[in-house]
Every structure is written in structure tokens, then in C-alpha cells.
Amino acid sequence: MKEQIFEIIARILEIDVKAVNEELSIENTEKWDSLAHLMIIGEIEEKLKINVPLEKVVELSTVQDLLDVIQK
């Protein structure tokens, strides 16, 4: 599942999947803006059938944060 999440993030942010890691964040990725953030969450929910609570969506700022929420 982690690989699928990395692929989704890479596609939406238009970066190489090899550049996606747990430390990737909104702060250090130019293309990761609020629209991209919602697109990432939406696609993860749709493709992987995972529900990310709305209150958690606004708290997520790194790939690791996202993985932590999904794996709970």
C-alpha cells in the first residue's frame, strides 16, 4: 500500500516516485499546495478505499503524517 500511496503522490505532484519519501512535506515541495493536498487525499480515499477523517486532513503536512493516519 505504501508504494501505491507514493505513486499517487508522485503523479499528482508531477515528481519522480523516487523523490517521494516519508520526509516529503508541504513545506519542502513547491507543487504541494492546498489543491494538490486535497487531490492526494481524494485519490488515496478513492483508489485504496480508505477514509481519512476531515479533521485529520488539515493536520497532515508530511508523507509520514499521511501514512500514520492511514495505518491506524
Pinpoint the alpha helices (H) of 1-72. 2-13, 34-48, 54-57, 63-70
Query: Which pLDDT does position 15 carry in this prediction?
Result: 97
Q: What is the mean pLDDT of residues 35-44?
A: 95
pLDDT (tens digit per residue) in 5-29:
999 999 999 999 999 999 999 999 9
**β-strand partners of 24:** none
- Per-residue confidence at 37, pLDDT binned at 50, 70, 90? very high
The residue range of the domain holding 34 is: 2-70
Number of domains observed in the structure of the chain: 1
Query: Which pLDDT does position 67 carry in this prediction?
Result: 95
CATH of residue 64? 1.10.1200.10
- Per-residue confidence at 43, pLDDT binned at 50, 70, 90? very high
In contact, 26 and 37? CB cutoff 8 Å: yes
56: its cell numbers: 485529520
Asked if the model's pLDDT at residue 72 lies above 80, the reply is no
